[in-house]
Amino acid sequence: LHDLDLVLYVVNGSKAPDEEDRHVASLVRSCGVPVVVCLNKMDRLRAEDVIRNVEAYCELVGVGEEDYM
């Protein structure tokens, strides 16, 4: 993970982050480059669960609310 300009972090957004997601997110954060979080499969969520999952994944990689809202 050297010489990166950007990380595109694609996750299964239809579920809450698990231990594997937390491990990968720690690697992503350690890169020290901008991160774009792409939540796939969001169509499987109920509307009231969308924001909760977006916030959970963004928090994992250090993306603040001001960056996605």
Per residue in 55-69, pLDDT (tens digit) is 898 888 887 766 655
Q: What is the percent of the chain where pLDDT is above 90?
A: 28
The stretches in the chain having pLDDT less than 50 are none
Q: pTM of this prediction? A: 0.74
Residue by residue, what is the 3-state secondary structure of the chain? CCCCCCEEEEEECCCCCCHHHHHHHHHHHHCCCCEEEEEECHHHCCHHHHHHHHHHHHHHHCCCHHHHC
| Alpha carbon distance 46, 23 (integer Å) | 26
Q: Which residues pair with 12 in a beta bridge?
A: 40
What's the token pair of residue 1? 């993970």
